[in-house]
Amino acid sequence: MAKGTKDETGDGKVGEKKQKTIVFLHPDLGIGGAERLVVDAAVGLQKRGCKVVIFTSHCDPGHCFDEARDGTLDVRVRGNTVIPPSILGRFSILCAILRQIHLILSITLLTSELSMINPSGFFIDQLSAGVPLLSLLRPQTPIFFYCHFPDLLLVQNRNSSLFKRLYRIPFDALEQWSMGFATSTAVNSNFTKSVVAKTWPGYPADQLKIVYPCINTSLPSSSSSDEETQPIKWGQSEKSIILSINRFERKKNIALAIQAFALLPAPARQKSKLVVAGGYDARVHENVSYHADLVSLCEKLGLKSATVKTVVSALNSSIEDVEVLFLLSVPNALKEILLKSAKLLVYTPREEHFGIVPLEAMLRGVMERVVERMGEGELREMGEEGKKRVRENFAETEMARQLEGVFEEIEGVDAKGAGALGLVLVVMAGITGAIGVGIGLWLVRTPAVKL
């Protein structure tokens, strides 16, 4: 029996309760929005007295959130020695599924690591392919799956070729089917819930829970924060910062921010600087290629740009006359300074299922600075209302409370045993993987075909 722990929840309730052990499985613990949610959920559950272990196929100490590398969280990298993240920059979904299966097998059959942890429940997100296998191997442990958004809707250039359409068929079917083996499933918003219902009419979307992602709301008050945080200043100029924070992915539509900036009258551009900051991983082909495309776009539009990778370089006065500044893999401290310094935050993704960045901006009152025609009292009231909404609905403590409630609800409920179907799935996944790799190796030798 797990030992009793004090419940330090942040909601005023302290008492003795049975300690839960929650095991997280996440594909790649980098610095994206999904990773931020996983880290915040893990930290929040720890604060509520749970023991937390995160298993992932990849976590680079130089490219992850602070809590994943400073000892706050128990992060273990497994299942990363056989299958690469991609094959020549392609077939990422196939490789991700095989790596997840490898991770699960590594901690269940190949070692006794998971048995020694003896989890009370699993938290799996982003990739549901391994859920049936895990339910087969650990039928007594409930599985909670968090669906950020249907992966099949995030695929770009799906109709670019017949080969890609055929390639995606088994993965699209596997996504919906495998989610059904989770004991409980949640999405990040009412919007995503409606999309799931529309995308998979046969899926019981009415049973989906809604657990909002969170942000760190433990910030100092606006006035004291403004005094303590010095805004960024390049050289002697007082340029207004127009800020975009997104991963370097095409679906984030960062090009729109650059195009809009280029349309500003020349005098307005001279007084402003567009700062494009976000997650960047040199291992991810799309990050590299999209950044290169954005730099080329700046050249095409006649905008002077520069790319920096360190805080020291970012604050260098030599980039004073740069119009578009790309900041790769921004650390939290610099992001805080940017949010406090920005006059305007631009958020460009179309039909984004949930955006953490607007919440961060609301919490810090950034948007109020651009509404010049409103009175000081109205500005303050709008800013405070934004902060209040974030703290009430999107605080770390609120998400952790909801998650703990979910695990209490499914405690003692066996995973939806895969039985014979699970065994068939494992065999089919192996065959599909082998065929996929075979086809992939053939296709990569054909330059005209791109998946």
Question: How far, in whole angstroms, is CA 315 from its chain's centroid?
Answer: 27
Q: Strand order of the sheet with strand 324-328?
A: 305-308, 324-328, 272-278, 240-245, 342-345
- Tell me the C-alpha distance between 234 and 220, whole Å: 26
pLDDT at 375: 57
Nearest to 30 by CA among 280, 326, 288, 304: 280
Handedness of CA 115, 120, 126, 130 (dihedral sign): positive
Tell the residue number behind the tokens 């349309």, with chain if given. 263
pLDDT at 350: 72
Write the Ramachandran bin of 189: left for phi over 0, alpha for psi from -120 to 50, otherwise beta.
beta
Long-range contacts of residues 281-289, Cβ cutoff 8 Å, at least 24 apart: 281/30, 281/60, 281/63, 281/329, 283/85, 285/86, 285/89, 285/90, 286/248, 286/249, 286/250, 287/247, 287/248, 287/249
pLDDT at 351: 63
pLDDT at 418: 52
pLDDT at 270: 85
pLDDT at 376: 60
- Tell me the C-alpha distance between 269 and 261, whole Å: 7
The partner residues of 277 in beta bridges, in order of sequence, read 245, 327
Nearest to 269 by CA among 291, 298, 246: 298
The tokens of 323 are what?
A: 């119009």
Q: Are 394 and 212 in contact (CB under 8 A)?
A: yes
The helix-helix angle for 33-47 and 396-410 (nearest 10°) equals: 70
pLDDT at 311: 67
SS3 81: coil
- Tell me the C-alpha distance between 63 and 69, whole Å: 9
pLDDT at 84: 92
Low-confidence stretches of the chain (pLDDT < 50) are 1-4, 8, 12-14, 220-227, 361-365, 367-373, 420, 445, 447-451
